[in-house]
Amino acid sequence: MRRPSGPADRWSGISVNVSMAGSRTVEDPRLDGRPVKRIAFGSDQISTRVRELGCAITDAYPVGDLLVLGLLKGSFIFLSDLVREIRRPLQVDFLVASSYGDAMESSGTVRLVYDPETTLEGKHILLVEDIVDSGRTLSRLLDLLSERSPRSLEVCALLHKHVAEHLRYPTKFVGFDAPNEFLVGYGLDHAENFRHLPYIASLQ
Ligand code: IMP
Ligand code: MG
């Protein structure tokens, strides 16, 4: 099958960072003309880090049932890459919460749209989140989940902005410390767009 856009994908891998150095506008057709400030994390950098997180998670859970609970939609790419790097038995389920709508700031209200079907009781629960910003989404969800008597309850976030002042639950596994900018790609969206970027970019 012929690729629609010419030679090897210029926008996957570390070459994105290199080729974009000093440029204000990324000309990736996936962006539909939307200007980005910079590539914050390239796809090679992400996959290296995801592999490391997979090792850390494998080592952290010696016995017992492990349920990896992905917070949709933002975690869908991260979770699918991450679970393939965890070398022990596990199960996967999802949660859907809605907090941002189309805005670039948290509204403070978290609505549970889909609840996991699997029982959480007695299991190690690893909640997988795309990014921790204000931490409101996480706090609300962890309150709900801890009422269901899991054996343990931890969070793995791809990105952490470290701006929340009163986080009641620490994030045990963090991929990257994120700049306090609005990021898209690798699952993160703005108004449902840009989730499919293989790198993480900062929107202008
Ligand atoms: P929090 O409740 O403020 O911590 O926000 C958490 C949720 O908001 C994340 O799961 C994302 O869906 C969304 N979010 C926060 N910051 C960003 C960002 O920089 N880009 C895209 N989505 C974000
Ligand atoms: Mg979102």
Convert the pLDDT of each residue in 127-180 to its tens digit.
999 999 988 888 888 988 999 999 999 999 999 998 877 778 889 999 999 999
Query: 11 by DSSP, 3-state: which?
Result: coil
Q: Among the options 28, 81, 130, 133, which is catalytic?
A: 133
Any ligand 1 atom below 6 A from CB of 106: yes
Q: Is 193 in the pocket of ligand 1 (CB under 6 A)?
A: no
The bridge status of strand 91-98 relative to strand 66-72 is parallel
Coil, strand or helix at 56: helix
The pLDDT value given to residue 134: 87
The pLDDT assigned to 110 comes to 67
Decide: helix, strand or coil at residue 189: coil
Nearest CA, atom 12, ligand 1: 74
Query: What 3 state SS string does 137-187 have?
Result: HHHHHHHHHHCCCCCEEEEEEEEECCCCCCCCCCCCEEEEECCCCCEEECC
- Residue 62's pLDDT is what? 85
**Range among 97-101, 160-164, 191-195 rated most confident:** 191-195
CB neighbours of residue 133 within 10 Å = 23
Say yes or no to pLDDT of 107 above 70: no
Residue 164, both tokens: 């929340």
CA 150 vs. chain centroid, Å, equals 22
Q: What does the pLDDT read at residue 4?
A: 43
To the query of whether residue 59 is one of the catalytic residues in this protein, the response is: no
Of 14, 37, 12, the closest CA to residue 24 belongs to 37
Distance 189 CA to ligand 1 centre (A): 9
| Per-residue confidence band for 5, with pLDDT thresholds at 50, 70 and 90 | very low
- Please compute the mean of the pLDDT values over residues 170-194 and round it to a whole number: 96
